[in-house]
Chain A
Amino acid sequence: MTLTPEAPATAAGSPVGRSVRRKDGDLILTGHGAYLDDIEFPGSVLHAALLRSPHPAARILRMDTSAAQARPGVRVVLTGAEAAAATQPIPHFYNPAMVGGRSTDFHPLAVDTVHYAGEPVAAVVAESLHEAQAALRDIVVDYETLPFVLDAEQALAPEAPRVFEGWEDNAVARLPFMEGDATAALAGAPHTLTGEISIQRYQTTPMETRGYVAAWSPDGRLTMHASTQNPHPLRSHLAQVFGIGEHQVRVVATRLGGGFGHKFHSYPEEALVALLARRAGAPVKWLESREESLLVGAREYLHRFEVGFDAEGTILALQDRILANVGALGSSGGWAQAFVAGLTVPGPYKITHYDVEVAVVATHKAPWNGARGFGKESATLMMERVVDLVAQRLRMDPAEVRRRNLIPADAMPYWTAMKHIDSGEYHAVLEEVLEAADYEGQRAEQTTARAHGRLLGIGIGFELAPEGADLAGSLVRGHDTATVRIDRTGGATVLTGVTSPGSGNETGIAQMVAAELGIGVDDVRVVQGDTDLCPYGYGNFSSRSLTVGGAAAVLAARDVRATLAQAGAHLLKTRVEDCSFADGHLIDTASGQRLPLPEVVNAVMTLGGVGLGIDESQLESTRTYSPENVHLVPDEAGRVSVYPSYAYSAHVATVEVDRETGKVTVLSYTGVHDCGTVINPMFVRGQFLGAIAMGIGGALWEESVYGADGRLRSDSLKRYLVPRAPDLPWIETRSRETPSPFALLGVKGGGESGVSGAIGAIANAVNDALLPLGVHVHEMPLSAPRVLRALTDQRIRP
């Protein structure tokens, strides 16, 4: 990547589109990042520790907290019954009832029944964390253990133990996504094939775990500092849980050490910590341990598919039955990933007859929360394997089958049942990745390698990443709001409702505002995460921070600029349309006269309304940007679309399988992506690289494994294997910009792109490597033991 040195921010040298370094980099590099646990709070902060159930299903018969209460330093011991009596149920991040599913109430602690091993059953607050943790051991709980079920398929059996009392079965929801007549099209297709593929329970492992610090002030106001991705919705939820006015709650989202969906709000610990602080009459801090963090799951699906196609490789119809094991549901919205898994099918392909049903199933595993990819990775894995299986059956090149089925650029925007795809040049990006990876050359090398008995595989992955979700009827909305102010020194402050998980969107927003006002990026301060300061917004999810947060800030900055232009035109005796902004100056492009911005601001403040041609001295604006291309009212064909923007990417991975051990080594990797207009190429590349690495990790090593006792076995980073530097190949990236016609500045979401394509590409590459042996592996992750089993087990021949 070639990066050009910074030029002054002139019209020709706008900071938009440049690789500006991230704000606060110097603070972070010198240890002053101020993550949640680094912040010093006034007064003494008490510490909370949680007792978690060792059993996946149990009735709590008796709990004796007296010994714990009596311990030195202990200030509060709280049981589930006490917590439930003091709070309203925790609102769902996204209630399954909204899509016709089953729901139930969740409380800060298990009340009388335990639904998963690791569910919190009691809490202790003490003067030190040592004391709090030690006191947990003195809480006596008598459990009556109950039968439990961990597998989704078994959970649907009539005799299966119910996860939630009163439910007819363990199905949370059955969600259909269909278009055309798949049954008829399958019946009429010249060729069909069926298959099954599963993807494992996974989790994102941000390096900073979650944490909350709650304090109630004497006036009854709750302040919560939280390592969360959604401060405003969390504020709404806390107000509801405690039955107080929302203005009586302040949430401050601190600098995040990674989010990836793990820090979406609606966890039971949020309300719990606030309740503990109220009981203790003092600030209380709780930090998630790594062990606790690893409980959070995502992404456990089984696909059973049937595909119909013709002799030319055109896919005519697709049926997919998806089983999603969402664990014990919980108030966090992780289960909604199963909805997105169904919605994303058939991805970037033009398949007019399809029929998908997602069975969302509750089991006695810990609940899900978001994981980068958010269900799209599962759909992509299935689709990409389907395309390769069609190619294999027809003895065609998998690239060619993609060419024949990708949605053509001239068909954009393109409607499917649940998506109105804004734009994209899929064929061009496919060709670009093939060229960048030297696909033809690699195929030739593969032929040679195979002749020498090597198991070399090449896999293509093509990913569609619907982004910017707008789920009306919930607090998961697509719009967002920003305030932009300009001050007398010519600097700007942006208050925004979007937050950063550590991706750098604050720098991106600063670039966008700086470009509008003709000032330097360092002259723009971006304030995020504090609900007392920032306008209501939905925080960080669905790769939306620049598409909506940035766009709202641009609109607000343009309002401010308009006022300045009007004043400037008056001062310079020129026309408003001749006023431009660059270098911290207002410039009359007709005469070349320049006024330093502070002078213009000062004039507006001191003379506005009395002779500058402006009626008011307002130098700030608050604007809300709602994404276009969201269709929440069904059209005449019954179609709706909750995602406004559709980033996409194409990947080529080359792997070698060790025939004797089953170990997969990724030899090379190339990815080309398109997230519309790029604000900061360095950051976009960084997001893409990180997402690909996460995808490779999820495809090959990372797995949340449960024991037969219903407890999580992958409870440390020695047992949950995330990629380390030596595990990964050099990743070659390119990018293409197809601006979205529906977004201000043409920006599409760029934060998730790469995870799904990497999983698809790796799965295809490994299976391509195994092709000469006539076996396949359709069980993720493609860990060495699994691949070796496929190599030695003839029963799973396709």
Chain B
Amino acid sequence: MIRTALRHHAPGDLEEAAALLAAHGERAAVVGGGTVLVPSLTRGERDLDHVVDLRRLGLDELSGTDQELRIGASVSYADVLSAPPFPGAAQLLQVAAGGITGGPQIRNQGTVCGSASYANPSSDMPGVLVALGAQMHLHGPEGGRTLPAGEFFVDAFRVAARRGELLVAVSVPTRPDRIGYYKFKLAEGSWPIATASAVLPDPDGSLTGATVTLGAVSAVPLRLDLAPLLDGNGDLAVPAAEVDGWVAAQVPEPWDDELAPGDYRRTVAGVVLRRALQRAEENR
């Protein structure tokens, strides 16, 4: 039950959308799949006068070059899943989309870009996009600009969009990296407690150059370079307990909510990291 005098806009071009968002500032927001914004309005947690609907903007592109894959703001998880297998590292996105909490309905409705814009620490997409080094394409009153995912996620529930800007697409590289994704959640209905996205670029199969990005364990995704843990051959040189200790030390301010306390997230961060690596190994 939305209490405010909400006005729904479905602009036909980006300029109009940006103008609306700029004109109304805090009183306006973008609605994509609606899975987060709409219930927050219903519950009275957000108070808006305007929503800007993306549906007429033609942002449903899901297209690739040999370098990257571009995913428009209206592309749902279901669209991602029903597309042909993504090449290379981009496959991570498909793996993660298959495990989105909320069942098939939410996968039909929720979008990659919507999740990114919401920037909930306890969710899949921020970590995945940071892991891939995704480029975030914004459009605002001054035109378009692109930011790396690592700079896009500023804080819990806060992204680096300026007044009037909306996320119109993300592009992810299709480098032939091996990837591994591991998500830990308490139960089917739980949002992720900790996620790990492993990206292994070495064609010879070692962990040289490997990164693992942790999601849901802190306010913004943490991209960890595994170099300190590797020996000269690019293999993990330390036992599991030591990996876990090192990882925990990288999470000074763990995310804390009613599902899991911060110290728990810090404790399992190493576990999910190792399991993501293991999955990447299995993807060899």
Contacts and interface: CB of A to CB of B under 8 A. Distances in A.
Query: In their complex, do chains A and B touch, with some C-beta pair under 8 Å?
Result: yes
Interface of A: 129-130, 133-134, 137, 291, 660-661, 663, 700-701, 705, 707, 713-714, 716-719, 721-727, 783-785, 788-789, 792
B238 to A, nearest CB: 16
Interface of B: 1-4, 43-44, 103, 184, 186-191, 193, 258-261, 264, 267-268, 271
Contacts of A130: 1-3
21 contacts: A129-B1, A133-B3, A133-B44, A134-B4, A660-B268, A661-B184, A661-B268, A661-B271, A663-B184, A700-B187, A701-B186, A701-B190, A705-B258, A707-B258, A721-B190, A721-B259, A724-B103, A724-B187, A784-B264, A785-B261, A788-B268
A723 B264 CA distance: 22
Tell me whether chain B's interface is mostly helix, strand or loop, or mixed: loop
Given A129-B1, A785-B261, A718 B271 contact: no
Contact of A719 (B44, B259, B261): B259
A134 B3 contact: yes
A137 B260 CA distance: 32
B264 A785 contact: yes
B280 to A, nearest CB: 18
A727 B188 contact: yes
Contact of A788 (B3, B4, B267): B267
A792 B245 CA distance: 14
Contacts of A721: 186-187, 189-190, 259
Given A660-B268, A785-B260, A718 B189 contact: yes
Given A134-B4, A661-B271, A726-B188, 16 more contacts: A130-B1, A133-B1, A133-B3, A291-B43, A701-B186, A713-B258, A714-B258, A718-B190, A721-B187, A721-B190, A724-B187, A724-B188, A727-B189, A784-B193, A788-B268, A789-B264
Nearest to A703: B258
A705 B261 CA distance: 12
Contacts of B44: 133
Contacts of B264: 784-785, 788-789
A727 B190 CA distance: 11
Contacts of A785: 260-261, 264
B2 A724 contact: no
B118 to A, nearest CB: 13
Count chain A CB atoms within 10 A of each CB in B189, B193, B261 and give the residue with the most.
B189
A717 B258 contact: no
Nearest to B260: A785
Closest 7 CB pairs of A and B: A724-B188, A785-B264, A713-B258, A134-B3, A660-B271, A726-B188, A701-B187
Contacts of B184: 661, 663
Contacts of B103: 724
A246 to B, nearest CB: 35
A784 B268 CA distance: 10
A663 B191 CA distance: 15
Contacts of A727: 187-189
Contacts of A129: 1
Contacts of A291: 43
Contacts of A719: 258-259
Given A291-B43, A661-B268, A788-B264, A722 B189 contact: yes
A132 to B, nearest CB: 9
B2 A784 contact: no
Contacts of B187: 700-701, 721, 723-724, 727
Contacts of A725: 188
B189 A724 contact: yes
Contacts of B186: 663, 701, 721, 783-784
Contacts of B261: 785
A305 to B, nearest CB: 29
A700 B260 CA distance: 14
Contacts of B258: 705, 707, 713-714, 719
A703 to B, nearest CB: 9
Nearest to B2: A130
B191 A718 contact: yes
Count chain A CB atoms within 10 A of each CB in B2, B3, B267 and give the residue with the most.
B3
Nearest to B258: A713
A701 B267 CA distance: 20
Contacts of B3: 130, 133-134, 137
A783 B4 CA distance: 39
B164 to A, nearest CB: 28
Count chain B CB atoms within 10 A of each CB in A663, A700, A713, A792 and give the residue with the most.
A663
A792 B44 CA distance: 41
A717 B101 CA distance: 12
A665 to B, nearest CB: 10
A347 to B, nearest CB: 29
A792 B271 CA distance: 14
A712 to B, nearest CB: 10
A320 to B, nearest CB: 30
B189 A717 contact: yes
A137 B3 CA distance: 10
A16 B1 CA distance: 46
Contacts of A707: 258
Contacts of B2: 130
B58 to A, nearest CB: 32
A717 B190 CA distance: 9
A714 B186 CA distance: 15
Contacts of B189: 717-718, 721-722, 724, 727
Count chain A CB atoms within 10 A of each CB in B4, B184, B258 and give the residue with the most.
B258
B37 to A, nearest CB: 15
A453 B193 CA distance: 25
Contacts of A661: 184, 268, 271
A660 B272 CA distance: 9
Contacts of B193: 784
A783 B259 CA distance: 9
Contacts of A701: 186-187, 190
A664 to B, nearest CB: 10
A719 B261 CA distance: 13
A700 B190 CA distance: 13
A723 B190 CA distance: 10
B257 to A, nearest CB: 8
Count chain A CB atoms within 10 A of each CB in B4, B190, B193 and give the residue with the most.
B190
Nearest to B264: A785
A545 to B, nearest CB: 31
Nearest to A697: B187
A337 B281 CA distance: 53
A319 to B, nearest CB: 34
A316 to B, nearest CB: 40
A314 B271 CA distance: 44
A757 B9 CA distance: 54
A696 to B, nearest CB: 10
Nearest to A287: B1
Nearest to B268: A661
A705 B258 CA distance: 7
Contacts of A726: 188
A667 to B, nearest CB: 16
Nearest to B190: A721
Nearest to A792: B267
Count chain B CB atoms within 10 A of each CB in A130, A727, A785 and give the residue with the most.
A785
A722 B191 CA distance: 13
Contacts of A718: 189-191
Count chain B CB atoms within 10 A of each CB in A661, A663, A714, A717 and give the residue with the most.
A661
A134 B5 CA distance: 10
Contacts of B190: 701, 718, 721
A716 B258 CA distance: 11
A723 B3 CA distance: 32
Contacts of B188: 723-727
B146 to A, nearest CB: 32
B240 to A, nearest CB: 8
A137 B4 CA distance: 11
A285 to B, nearest CB: 13
Nearest to A724: B188
Contacts of A663: 184, 186
